[in-house]
Structure 1
């Protein structure tokens, strides 16, 4: 199983928004794109999808930008993946007509894999990603001292 580029970029953008959740100031596309090395136009499309999915909200005006719609500890990674790849992911894991016993057996196992992936994604939140990032940064700092 691979993480799509779309989902990876969206998670990076959400992680950046989660990092600035407490100050409550919206981040502009340019800020997120520069910090996370995401192409501006692509990020704009991803943020629109995340906004429609209810994960972020946008504020207009000179001091406008994007904010998380909820606290980072209330946004599960499963929601993000479902928002971005829901229809595509379901279509790819749809049960084709089993032509052979072998195909049926493989599809049964693949459904089990999908269920396991969903279970893991439901366990982790954006806050968990922030905590892991902060712990790694701390280890990097300690390493260089």
Structure 2
């Protein structure tokens, strides 16, 4: 499966924003870009898509930045895909030729299953899979 760089960066930025989510602490663009080794010029475009989709909020100014618009367990992968790569979930198979309708139906079934699975995966599950360093002594 080929995942676009834009979708990957969107997921990575959202995982960063979900870390320590408290609903009020802003994260600066430069901090996000540095933590995820992403160009801030490209990242701001992605963040604008996420903001338009209602997944994040932003504040301007010297003390501005970005934060999730709701708890990480209320944001799922389908919402993220729809925000930055909506065409990713569109079935483009055609039902021409003798086998076309059968092939199109198979792709439609796969698309429906994928969409349902993406709805089950929430942003907090991304954060949970990351191993955190053990600082205990």
The TM-score with structure 1 as length reference comes to 0.84
- In the alignment, what sits opposite 2:61? 61
What is the root-mean-square deviation of aligned Cα atoms in Å?
Answer: 1.9
What's the offset of the Cα at 1:115? 1.2
**Off by >6 Å, runs of 4+ in structure 1:** none
Q: How many residue pairs align between the two structures?
A: 135
Unaligned runs of 5+ in 1: none
What's the offset of the Cα at 1:23? 7.4
The TM-score with structure 2 as length reference comes to 0.89
TM-superposition CA deviations, 1:40-94 (whole Å, max 9, x none):
11101000010010000001221110000001111111111111122x235x513
Unaligned runs of 5+ in 2: none
TM-superposition CA deviations, 1:87-145 (whole Å, max 9, x none):
x235x51353x221222222111111111111111111111111111xx336xx5xxxx
- In the alignment, what sits opposite 1:93? 91
Answer yes or no: is 1:132 the counterpart of 2:136. Answer: no
1:95-114 matches, within 5 Å, as: 95-96=93-94, 98-114=95-111
Answer yes or no: is 1:12 the counterpart of 2:7. Answer: no
- In the alignment, what sits opposite 1:49? 49
